[in-house]
């Protein structure tokens, strides 16, 4: 970390990081290499655990700790049958932050907080933020429709203020952020920091194959599509030929490839059929998916692995936020974070001068 500028917010105080920037937990992307590089840059790196077995997660945590002494976090699937066991690993190894893609149970929040772990669920609506805030979540992250995850249609500029107005809990904004202007804007809205996925994926520290990164850089603002054809849930993906073929394929045509990928996922996860069934039932109860959607649930991790790990775009998906259309380089995490902070400080100072008062970065 080389920047002399700092922006202190409740996020930096809560987590102990230097800068109010979060690298989100992207499956197959946010591994020890990227997380530790983010942490060393002074931001909050989040290790993605959904595609890891329990032993793999423990090994990944140990590896991150061997690479950096800075705080970092782990993203957990709240609906996973082994979520409590994974939470115990965070407690055992002194991980600073637990983030969740869905709302964790109150008991799990209490257990983590009892051991000093900061709990940050992701939410998609003000009512969800109100629920987890009432359960004791330390902060919430919102993601607008511009993002690359399970996004709704509401853009960040509308979702963020509704959540900030609804809760006193610190709010982190994600979806559409890539530079210091975005950080300054989010702080002006009342957020305590920003989360970025695609921007960190497209760094030199990311383990995504170089030719795949170059493929990302070739897409414009219209280069993504939100589809439910992978597993019945909305995903924003690069508009590749494979994704176009998914969009056009009927349910019957998808059946055999889906069964094949289910077998691959079973082997990769080390789960028995009974464990997979229990995990699927837990997911169904928490997400409200239909049984036909549950049949497709193993599609996503395997299709993302094919694209992001194996580099096979003819048989894999590439998750991306809309910001992919304005990114044209692959800086290191350190260079990226320094640049964002420096630009945000300049923007906040300029805003303060324009209104004749000192800018207040966050509430």
Closest-CA residue to 341 (of 11, 20, 14, 16): 20
Contacts 24+ apart (CB under 8 A), 103-106: 103/78, 103/128, 103/131, 103/132, 103/135, 104/76, 104/78, 104/132, 105/78, 106/135, 106/136
* Residue ranges of E strands in the chain: 21-23, 44-48, 73-76, 97-100, 118-123, 140-143, 171-174, 193-196, 224-227, 235-238
Residue 363 lies in a domain: no
292-330 burial: b if 16+ Cβ within 10 Å, else e: ebbbbbbbbbbbbbbbbbebebeebbbbbbbbbbebeeb
CA distance 143 to 126: 12
> CATH code at 134?
3.20.20.70
Residue 359 lies in a domain: no
Reported as a single tens digit per residue, the pLDDT across 34-80 is 999 999 999 999 999 998 999 999 999 999 999 999 999 999 999 88
Pairing status of strand 235-238 against strand 224-227: antiparallel
Query: Residue 99 in contact with residue 25, Cβ under 8 Å?
Result: yes
Residue 3 lies in a domain: no
Mark the ranges of the chain whose per-residue pLDDT is less than 70.
Answer: 1-3, 151, 249-299, 357-363
Q: Does residue 24 sit in the same domain as residue 98?
A: yes
CA distance 331 to 202: 8
Residue 249 lies in a domain: yes
Residues 6 or more apart whose CB falls under 8 angstroms from that of 355 comprise: none
CA-CA-CA-CA dihedral for 304, 305, 310, 312, to nearest 10: -30
Q: What is the pLDDT of residue 281?
A: 53
Query: Residue 183 in contact with residue 20, Cβ under 8 Å?
Result: yes
Q: Does residue 136 sit in the same domain as residue 239?
A: no
Look at the chain and report how many structural domains it folds into. 2
Q: Does residue 197 sit in the same domain as residue 249?
A: no
Residue 26 lies in a domain: yes
Q: Does residue 138 sit in the same domain as residue 73?
A: yes
- Give the phi and the psi of residue 314 in degrees, each rounded to 5: -80, -15
Note down the domain range covering 192.
Answer: 10-209+328-354
CA distance 86 to 54: 7
Residue 361 lies in a domain: no
Q: Does residue 39 sit in the same domain as residue 150?
A: yes
Residue 53 lies in a domain: yes
Residue 36 lies in a domain: yes
Q: What is the pLDDT of residue 242?
A: 87
Q: Does residue 80 sit in the same domain as residue 228?
A: no
CA distance 262 to 268: 10
- Give the phi and the psi of residue 99 in degrees, each rounded to 5: -110, 155
Q: Does residue 199 sit in the same domain as residue 224?
A: no
Query: Residue 196 in contact with residue 324, Cβ under 8 Å?
Result: no
CB-based burial of residue 138 (10 Å sphere; 0-12 exposed, 13-18 middle, 19+ buried)? buried
CB hemisphere CA count around 15 (13 angstroms): 34
Residue 19 Cα to chain centre, angstroms: 17
Q: Does residue 85 sit in the same domain as residue 225?
A: no
Q: Does residue 14 sit in the same domain as residue 85?
A: yes
143-161 burial: b if 16+ Cβ within 10 Å, else e: bbbbbbbbbeebbbeebbb
Q: Does residue 199 sit in the same domain as residue 280?
A: no
Residue 90 Cα to chain centre, angstroms: 18
Q: Does residue 154 sit in the same domain as residue 74?
A: yes
């Amino acid at each position: 970390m080389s920047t002399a500028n700092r922006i202190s917010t409740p996020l930096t105080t809560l987590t102990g990081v230097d800068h109010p920037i979060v690298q989100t937990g992207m499956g197959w992307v946010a591994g020890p290499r990227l997380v530790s590089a983010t942490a060393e840059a002074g931001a909050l790196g989040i290790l993605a655990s959904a595609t890891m077995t329990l032993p793999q997660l423990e090994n990944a945590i140990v590896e991150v700790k061997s690479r950096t002494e800075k705080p970092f976090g782990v993203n957990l699937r709240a609906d996973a049958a082994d979520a409590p066991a994974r939470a115990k690993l965070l407690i055992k190894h002194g991980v600073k932050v637990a983030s969740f893609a869905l709302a964790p149970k109150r008991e799990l929040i209490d257990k983590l907080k009892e051991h000093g772990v900061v709990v940050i669920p992701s939410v998609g609506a003000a009512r969800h933020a109100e629920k987890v805030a009432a359960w004791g979540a330390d902060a919430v992250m919102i993601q607008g429709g511009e993002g690359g995850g399970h996004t709704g249609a509401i853009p960040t500029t509308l979702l963020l203020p509704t959540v900030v107005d609804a809760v006193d809990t610190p709010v982190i904004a994600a979806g559409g952020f890539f530079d210091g202007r975005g950080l300054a804007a989010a702080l002006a809205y009342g957020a305590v920091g920003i989360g970025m996925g695609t921007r960190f994926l497209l760094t030199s520290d990311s383990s995504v194959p170089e030719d795949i990164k170059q493929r990302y850089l070739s897409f414009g603002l219209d280069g993504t599509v939100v589809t439910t054809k992978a597993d019945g849930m909305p995903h924003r993906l690069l508009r590749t030929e494979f994704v176009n073929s998914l969009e056009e394929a009927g349910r019957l045509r998808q059946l055999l490839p889906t069964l094949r990928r289910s077998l691959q996922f079973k082997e990769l996860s080390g789960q028995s059929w009974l464990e997979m069934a229990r995990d699927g039932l837990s997911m169904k109860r928490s997400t409200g998916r239909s049984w036909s959607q549950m049949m497709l649930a193993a599609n996503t991790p395997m299709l993302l692995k094919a694209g992001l790990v194996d580099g096979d775009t003819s048989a894999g998906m590439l998750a991306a936020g809309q910001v992919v259309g304005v990114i044209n380089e692959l800086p290191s995490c350190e260079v990226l974070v320094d640049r964002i902070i420096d630009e945000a400080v300049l923007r906040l100072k300029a805003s303060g001068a324009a209104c004749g008062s000192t800018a207040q970065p966050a509430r």
